Amino acid sequence: MNKRFFIFIAIILLLSACVQYKLVETGKPQLLAQAFEVEPQINWSKTAYKKIEKWTVDGPALEAITFYKGYVDGESLYTIHNAQKNLPVYRNSMTPNEIMEFFVDSLIAVDRAGYEWANFSASKATTSGLRPFKFAEQRGFRFDLEFSSANGLKYKGFVIGSVIEEKLYLICYSGEKQHYYPKYKAAAEKVVASLNLVEHNQ
């Protein structure tokens, strides 16, 4: 084996270390935050960081389901080095209207801090259609979301959420408005419909 081969292998290993996606297989229930189970109806690829888990098929810049798993009073949705104090903070006293505001303000704050939110820009993010929604048979809410990429490509999404035992759970499905959002919306809805609260401390 020559030197070039080893360099090639080293690069491949380096790249694979950066991505860290895992397969989420059809029909295999997935545990979220030790609190919920969901059953995917298609294969997804997942990646996770702290309390955020992201599933995608064609890539997060095209579509993704993002799970925000169990935020307690005083926590921010994202973690940003050196800019944490500029991020909105979740409060248990928040109503669904305020949680919707907290969510979109968090996206905008991350955007302003210079961090790319999966290559999206939230500066003009808008929400609408806040309504009650059953979240794993618990009392929850749902709203719609629109935003764009930094160079103007339009995106659409929906967010569902609930506060259960003083922890905030949110699930956001979003995708490029014209093609990718509709392409996997039904699959995302099935994931949401499969949400099932599991017994604690199992």
Partner 1 sequence: MIRFCRYLPVVVMLAFFLMSCATAPVSDVRPGQTPELESDEAGLWMHMDKIEKKLKHSDRIETDADLNQYVRDIVAKLKPELADDLRIYIVRTPHFNASMAPNGFMQLWTGALLRCENEAQLAYIIGHEIGHYQKRHSLQQWRVMRNTSSTLAFVSLATAVAGVGFVGDVASLVAVAGVFAYSRDQEREADQIGFDLMVKAGYDPLEAVKIWQQMEKEREAARDKKQFILFATHPKAEERIETLKTLAQQLTGTSGELDGFKTPYTAATATFRPQWLRDELRKRKYNASEVVLNNLLESGADPAQMCFFQGELHRLRAEEHDLKKSVDCYAKAIAHENTPAVAHRSMGLLQWKLGQKDDAVRCFKNYLEAAPDASDLDMIKAYIDELELENE
DSSP labels, 13-61? HHHHHHH--EEE-TT--EEETTTEEE--SS-EEEEEETTEEEEESS-TT
- Determine the interface stretch with partner 1 among 10-18, 145-153, 173-181, 191-199 (rule: CB under 8 A): 145-153
Give least dist CB 30 to partner 1, A. 29
- Of the candidates 82, 151, 201, 202, which one interacts with partner 1 according to CB under 8 A? 151
20 touches partner 1 (CB under 8 A) = no
DSSP labels, 110-137? HHHTT--BTTEEEEEEEEEEEEEEEETT
- Of the candidates 67, 68, 141, 169, which one interacts with partner 1 according to CB under 8 A? 141
The footprint of partner 1 on residues 95-124 (CB under 8 A) is 95-98, 105, 108-109, 111-116, 121, 123-124
- Determine the interface stretch with partner 1 among 5-13, 16-24, 34-42, 127-135 (rule: CB under 8 A): 127-135
Other beta carbons within 10 Å of 90: 24
**Amino acid residing at 119:** N
Sign of CA dihedral 64, 90, 102, 82: negative
Q: Which residues contribute to the site for partner 1 (CB under 8 A)?
A: 86, 88, 91, 93, 95-98, 105, 108-109, 111-116, 121, 123-124, 128-132, 141, 143, 148-152
